[in-house]
Amino acid sequence: MSERFFLAAAPQQGQARLQGDEARHLARVLRAEVGDAVTLFDGSGRSWLARVTEIGRDDVGLEVETAFPAPEPALQGGSPGQLTLAVALPKGDRQKWMVEKLTELGVARLIPLTTTRGVAEATAGAKARLERVVIEACKQSGRNTLMEIAPGMSLAQLAAGPAGQSRCVVADPNGTALAVVPPAPPAQLQLPLLGLVGPEGGFTPEELAAADSMGCTRIALGPHILRVETAAIALAAKLL
């Protein structure tokens, strides 16, 4: 058995426990037995090979055999070189699909962007659902760091916070093709990278002006008008 499972709490003294959905999936769906080997990860970049030692109804005990190093940088704190996307979320399944693909690509942080023409709100329930999508995408893709789902923010809030100190690009059909955008000055290369993607109706002129005030470079993603989720994935693929 080579399944991957998300561990809510790191192992202690060589012992770990899966609970809730993860434990039920291992015990009931996969019908694990004592002695089966599984891979665990805790979302911080760390992972472990472990063996099942006990199986309960909603709880599985494991003994850690091997700890693996964390090659990916930690998410919290916006380490240099990491990509944050601030996106006006689309509705329904398109939202989930976008989060899944951004996780697979390696985006560090997703900020639901509040805009004038936005169609979906980043409620607490929506955030929890998207965090579960991130976990499932990490399990499938082999990624050991969770993409952070941040609280919703407006452009003004972004500009006033740490993101305002990032290298910034904004997806704009009237922008410059990314291939001809001059490279960042050497002094800026170690800054975190922020990408902005607006709603279906696009950013308002006032919102684009706010992005300009943050020092964002307007870039075009191609000759066609893209849906939000397509634009976010295309931007991530170009910047990572």
Residues 32 and 190: their CA atoms lie apart, in Å, by: 45
Average pLDDT over residues 165-175: 89
Q: Based on the structure, what is the number of domains in the chain?
A: 2
Identify the CATH number of the domain in which residue 31 sits: 2.40.240.20
pLDDT at 2 over 70: no
The values of phi and psi at residue 119, to 5°, are: -120, -5
Query: Residue 78: inside a domain, yes or no?
Result: no
Non-local (6+) Cβ contacts of 31 within 8 A are none
Identify whether 76 is part of a domain. no
- 73 assigned to some structural domain: no
77, part of any domain:
no
| Residue 38 within any structural domain of the chain | yes
Identify any residues that bridge with 49 across adjacent strands, giving them in sequence order. Answer: 39, 66
Identify the CATH number of the domain in which residue 98 sits. Answer: 3.40.1280.10
- For 21, 93, 148, 236, the CA distances from 100, given in Å and listed in that order, are 18, 11, 12, 13
The residue out of 45, 68, 91 marking a domain boundary is 68
Rg (C-alpha) for the chain, rounded Å, is 20
Do 92 and 145 lie in one domain? The reply is yes
Both 57 and 92 in a single domain?
no
**136 shares its domain with 223:** yes
Query: Does 123 lie in the same domain as 203?
Result: yes
Rounded distance between C-alpha atoms, residue 235 and residue 198, angstroms: 12
What is the reported pTM? 0.88
State which of 68, 93, 122 marks the end of a domain: 68
Residue-wise pLDDT for 178-196, tens only, equals: 765 656 655 566 678 999 9
Residues 18 and 109 in one domain: no
Same domain flag for 129 and 193? yes
Report the interhelical angle of 228-239 vs 92-105 (nearest 10°): 10
**Same domain for 22 and 100:** no
On whether residue 103 sits in a domain, the answer given is: yes
Q: What is the reported pLDDT for 1?
A: 47
Q: What is the pLDDT of residues 199-227, one digit of tens each?
A: 999 999 999 999 998 889 999 999 999 99
Domain that holds residue 12: 4-68
H helix or E strand, kind and range, residue 177: strand 167-177
Say what percent of the chain tops pLDDT 90. Answer: 73
- Both 224 and 137 in one domain: the answer is yes
* Burial class of residue 130 (count of CB atoms within 10 Å of its CB; 0-12, 13-18, 19+): buried
Looking at the fold, whether 87 and 64 belong to one and the same domain comes out as no
